[in-house]
Structure 1
Amino acid sequence: MVPDSFDIGMDVSFLDEIESEGGRFYGEDGAEADALELLRRGGTNAIRLRIWNDPPGGYCNLERTLEMAKRIKAHGFRFLLDFHYSDRWADPAHQHKPKAWEKLDYEELKEAVREYTYRVLVMLAAQGTPPDAVQIGNEITPGMLWDDGKVDGEFDTDEQWAKLAGLASAGVAAAREAIPEAEVMIHIDRGGDWASSERFFTRFERLGVDYDGIGLSYYPWWHGTLADLRETLHGLAARFGKPIYVVETAYPWTLAKRDGHAFIVTGEEQLHEGYEATLAGQARYWRDVAEIVRRMPGGLGAGIYWWEPAWIPSKPDWSVGHPNNWSNLTLFDWDGKELPALKAIRPVAAAPEAASESL
């Protein structure tokens, strides 16, 4: 299925926490404005939120997701909801069960996934803010809900893959029932690794997991070059024929140190060749990655999302399990003023028909 639109997206899952701690945002003219409005002016047409089951501190829970969904829809954005199925980060190094699910057996766990997914989505729909797309799991290359759904290392067995497929399918079925028109996405982290990506989605294909779109994370310091990204995208398009999104990416606008913050990207060796850690380099990176996705074979490039563009250092101690190590990878500076990259993607967003390569 060829997508009928292209997402220029932002993951702003921390936004309400940043605002509640005093964070403020400003346009290029220096005037204070709602961060969502600034994103909209810059060409953003889609917003992604993560949801944690019962997180320490309360942010990214169901209550706050319901409130953020109202704001997202009020601005006219497409809405992608990302289920982590955890009380905290779910990623290749962490796929821990919610505390309330820790003692469930496998069949009970599947039912918990189904019931929770359905309940969240029905509540969003009931207030008039249904997600347009739903992610079943976050960066689940090594599985999810460990150890029941773990598939890496010694857990890389046919039995474990069948369990992972069963858990994912429970979430898919709930999404289909709750919001039949919503797109269902499966998300892994290997944006620059064609072999691993092909292996993962081939497993899901053989196990009959029913989903609509493929989501990838791509950060060059972890996932390789833009050439690696292009190879992976083209390979997945040709092999599976599904819409493909880069649902996470980012790039630094500075390598300058900031007291009290230990950044993830701190050195020249972490940068992609040809893209300096400057305002101009960041803007060029964003525009070029978007072009690669948009020009995918068969028109299957469906969108691209910047991860946490507004995670500015609004408080000195991000102590709830997530210190702010990202604020040189944002689209706002440390004082909340928008950076040039925020609007650099507007030509890509405005292009009525991007030329795509043949399959």
Structure 2
Amino acid sequence: MKRVILAALLLLLTALAAPAQAQAGPGRLPIRGADVSSLAKSEALGGVYRDAAGRRGDALRILSRSGLNFIRLKVWVNPADGYNTKARVLAMAKRVKALGMGLLIDFHYSDTWADPGKQTKPAAWASLPFAQLTQALYDHTYDVLRALRDQGTTADMVQVGNEINGGLLWPDGSNADWANTAALLNAGYDAVKAVSGSTRVVLHLANGGDNGLYRWWFDNAQAHGIRYDVIGLSYYSYWHGMLDAFQANINDVATRYGKPVVVVETAYPFTTADDDGWANIITAAEPYPGYRATPQGQSAMLARVADIVRAVPNGLGLGLFTWEATWTGVKGNGWDPADPSSGNGWENQALFGYDDRALPAMAVLGRL
């Protein structure tokens, strides 16, 4: 009789558990991240951050408690405002690692923004012959990463260059000459691995929905022996093509090259309003069809991008970073490091609202 009762109880428990198991979604993404490169300057200029309940606190801790587990920080060589330097990154890395979060270091190899439209050499490297330029890239990469390691905050991932569609350190490293591009990128790879063999090297392109670009670029990388561990993409739905094109591309590059993929930059606006008197970059009420510029629209777009990454074949989708999650409308924390009067055209895409509170998208991202 005891066996019959036990068997019946087991069947009942199985039946009760079945609906919950059927409704359970796939596991959380390994990387649920945010780029917070502007945070140190924001804090210095009086930036305030609050959790969803309105309690003032450390922005990194608020992100962590919401479920985010990775932080991305950019590094410039000698910027005019003294931020995003080795010293600033070291200080922020201590805070990141103290919270148990992963760390992605993004080398721009410039004194200012590097992206598909500009890859300007640092002033100190401007006239170096190519061999010395390659050595300067190695030395800078090694120096920053070794300092991180020596203070107990080893980088988990490193971008050798930022949005390098056309190469880096123009004109020398333009991919008009793939041999030069390869020499520079492999110097960066070697520097990363010399500091920590377990740190993964990311090569990062923009235009995440452009499969032709990615095949052309990574086919050439393969032909020229460029070494890397992870493919990084920027995908902004209002610039980089429809979601299905992005999905087709990220699936293709992961399987074609057999590498993990990570969206190192994505974002979406939560409002069309302005908070700092400087025109926002994205102002449309519905920047992408079906996703309005509202807190709900922001949450839905980030969730959709995450779902696409999660569905990459063979478990090769690592996750995503929302770009400049803490870049709120703080006076003086503008886009141009050489111009304190410049404003911020991105505050309507942060993860903190104009009341300084964490937006719903933060919690959504943390659960993905």
Q: 1:134 aligns with which of 158, 168, 181?
A: 158
Match of 1:256 in 2: 273
Q: Which one is further off, 185-194 or 315-324? A: 315-324
Equivalent residue letter for 2:352: F
User: Which residue pairs with 2:355 in the alignment?
Assistant: 335
- Specify the alignment match of 2:4 in structure 1: none
CA distance in 1, matches of 2:205, 2:365: 24
CA RMSD of aligned residues (A): 1.4
Hey, what does 1:352 align to over in structure 2? none
Closer, same or farther in 2 for the Cα pair 1:56/1:331, shift >3 Å? same
- Residues 286-336 of structure 1 deviation map (CA, whole Å, 9 limit, x = unaligned): 111111101111110011000001100111562525631000011101231
Contact 1:6-1:294 within 8 A present in 2 as well: no
Query: CA, structure 1 residues 287+317, in 2 after alignment: closer, same or farther (shift >3 Å)?
Result: closer
> In 2, Cα distance between the equivalents of 1:106 and 1:313?
41
Q: Residue 100 in 1 paired to residue 124 in 2?
A: yes
**1:261 positional shift:** 1.5
Which residue in 2 is equivalent to 1:37?
61
In the alignment, structure 1 residue 216 sits paired with structure 2 residue 233: yes
Partner of 1:113: 137
1:357 corresponds in structure 2 to none
Kept after mapping to 1: 8 A contact 2:111/2:122: yes
Q: Which amino acid aligns with 1:190?
A: N
The question of whether the paired residues in 1 share the 8 Å contact of 2:76 and 2:110 is answered with: yes
How far apart are residue 258 of structure 1 and its match? Answer: 4.0
Aligned residue for 1:230, secondary structure, equals helix
Aligned residue in 1 for 2:3: none
Q: Distance in 1 between matches of 2:275 and 2:197?
A: 46
Q: Is the Cα contact below 8 Å between 2:276 and 2:343 reproduced in 1?
A: no
Distance 1:325 1:8 in 2: 24
Q: Does 1:345 align with 2:365?
A: yes
Output the CA distance in 2 between the equivalents of 1:135 and 1:186.
6
- Partner secondary structure for residue 222 of structure 1: coil
The structure 2 residue matched to 1:197, chosen from 209, 214, 225, is: 214
Which residue number in structure 2 is paired with residue 304 of structure 1? 320
The answer on whether the counterparts of 2:284 and 2:293 sit within 8 Å (CA) in structure 1 is: no
Asked if 1:288 is matched to 2:308, the reply is no
Bigger CA radius of gyration:
2
Residues 51-101 of structure 1 deviation map (CA, whole Å, 9 limit, x = unaligned): 000111100001101101100100110000001100100001110000000
Amino acid in structure 1 at the alignment position of 2:218? F
What CA distance in whole angstroms lies between the structure 2 residues aligned with 1:96 and 1:7?
Answer: 30
* 1:128-167 paired onto structure 2 within 5 Å: 128-151=152-175, 156=176, 160-167=177-184
Asked if the contact 1:312–1:335 (Cα under 8 Å) also holds between the matched residues in 2, the reply is no
Task: After superposition, give the CA deviation of every residue in 1:135-165 in whole Å (9 maximum; x if it has no partner).
Answer: 10000001100000113xxxx3xxx111011
Matched residue of 2:348: which SS?
Answer: coil
Structure 1 regions of 5+ residues with no counterpart? Answer: 349-359
2:10 is matched with which residue?
none
Confirm or deny: 8 A CA contact 2:275 2:329 kept in the other structure: no
Do residues 324 (structure 1) and 344 (structure 2) align?
yes
Q: 1:5 to 1:183 in 2, by over 3 A?
A: farther
SS in 2 for 1:256: coil
TM-score by length of structure 2 reads 0.89
Deviations 1:154-185 (A, max 9, x none): xx3xxx11101110010001111111110111
Report SS of the residue matched to 1:187.
Answer: strand
Q: 1:60 matched to which residue of 2?
A: 84
Cα separation, 2, equivalents of 1:37 and 1:121: 24
Paired residue total: 337
Asked if the contact 1:12/1:307 (under 8 Å) is kept, the reply is yes
2:47 to 10, 14, 23: 23
Q: Are 1:226 and 2:243 matched, yes or no?
A: yes
Distance 1:5 1:344 in 2: 12
Where in structure 1 do 4 or more consecutive aligned residues deviate above 6 Å? none
Between 255-264 and 326-335, report the one with greater CA deviation. 255-264
Cα distance in 1 between the residues matched to 2:320 and 2:46:
29
Q: Which residue of 2 aligns with 1:240?
A: 257
Provide the TM-score with structure 1 as the length reference. 0.91
Q: CA deviation at 1:25?
A: 0.5
Aligned equivalents of 1:128, 1:316: Cα separation in 2: 32
| Structure 2: runs of 5+ lacking an equivalent | 1-27
